[in-house]
Amino acid sequence: MSGGADEPGSGRAEVGPPLLWRDLRRFTTARVGLGRVGHAQPTSAHLDFQEAHARARDAVWSALDSTALASSLEAFGVATRQVASEAADRRTYLLRPDLGRRLAAADREVLAADSRPGCLALVVADGLCASGVQTQAAELVAHLLPALGASGWDLAPVVLASQARVALGDDVGEVLGAVAVAVMIGERPGLSAIDSVGIYLTWAPHRGRTDAERNCISNIRPAGLRPADAARKLLWLLAAARRLGATGVALKDDESVALEGTASPTIDAMQR
């Protein structure tokens, strides 16, 4: 890149962002108000972009340490099962999204031994970036466990899935006979976030469910939605889905309206 203000002899002065943009940058990691040199970005902004892009590309190849995660969850008294999709490796997973949506045949048979009709299935999956899942999944589950027990949910062994897409939860839920499945999964890494986790909730899971039949909680990360708040939202959606018998477009997220002027002991306890 030529013409940068930090390049000797360029003859061009760097023009900083207007005051309004500088103020906005205090509240966001988005690339706004970068300034300019002539008709181009400053060299520093260009290099920052290249570094962020490289980190995002690397994050897609991150792997979930299922054994370490299983140890963290089992410390809470939670049983776990480790499974994989039909994608044999990371390259296949990235090139064949359809394979990431189906359980490997051998794991499907093994998981069938844990079938518990009417249970709640919880899947923790690597998705498109495993780093956020690795660091946040245990905390999310820790926030959920007391409230799930108090609400009468029968939680099946937590399934740790590798090379997994969201729809793998439909397979898991179907095999377990679950009434609902919640999939905690690494979200597609971006230029400002490579540690984001999403939770996808599906009522009556089975193969063939569509994204229109799910509810999503996204941007769970230290600089976004806190795990405690994400757990609170999931608990509300679970209760609403149980009343309605459906998720997705049929279930509107009007929690703020429903809770106005009320207090939930479980939610209040979680916030403390």
Residue type, 7: E
Q: Per residue in 161-207, pLDDT tens? A: 999 999 999 999 999 999 999 999 999 887 778 889 999 999 999 99
Q: What pLDDT is stored for residue 258 in this prediction?
A: 47
Predicted local confidence at residue 42, as pLDDT: 86
Question: Is residue 133 assigned to a domain?
Answer: yes
- How many other β-carbons are positioned within 10 Å of the β-carbon of residue 34? 16
28 inside domain: no
pLDDT in tens, 146-165: 999 899 999 999 999 999 99
CA quadruple 128, 130, 136, 137: dihedral sign? positive
What's the pLDDT band for 260 if we cut at 50, 70, 90?
A: very low
202 in any annotated domain: yes
Q: Which domain holds residue 223?
A: 66-271
Is 224 within a domain? yes
Per-residue pLDDT at 14 exceeds 70: no
Tens-place pLDDT, residues 28-43: 777 777 778 888 888 8
In a domain, 208, yes or no: yes
The reply to whether 34 falls in a domain is no
Query: Contact at 8 Å (CB) between 123 and 201?
Result: no
Helix intervals (H) in the chain: 19-24, 43-60, 66-74, 90-95, 105-111, 131-150, 168-176, 227-244, 255-258, 265-271
Number of independent structural domains in the chain:
1
In a domain, 227, yes or no: yes
For residues 54 and 51, what is the distance between their CA atoms, to the nearest angstrom?
Answer: 5
Task: Quote the mean pLDDT of the chain.
Answer: 86
Task: Give residue 9's pLDDT.
Answer: 46
Prediction pTM value: 0.82
Contacts with 263 (C-beta within 8 Å, 6 or more apart), sequence order: none
Please tell me the predicted confidence (pLDDT) of residue 189.
84
**Percent of the chain, pLDDT > 90?**
64
Confidence label for 13 from pLDDT (cuts 50, 70 and 90) = low
The verdict on residue 132 lying in a domain is yes
CATH of the domain at 207: 3.40.50.11240
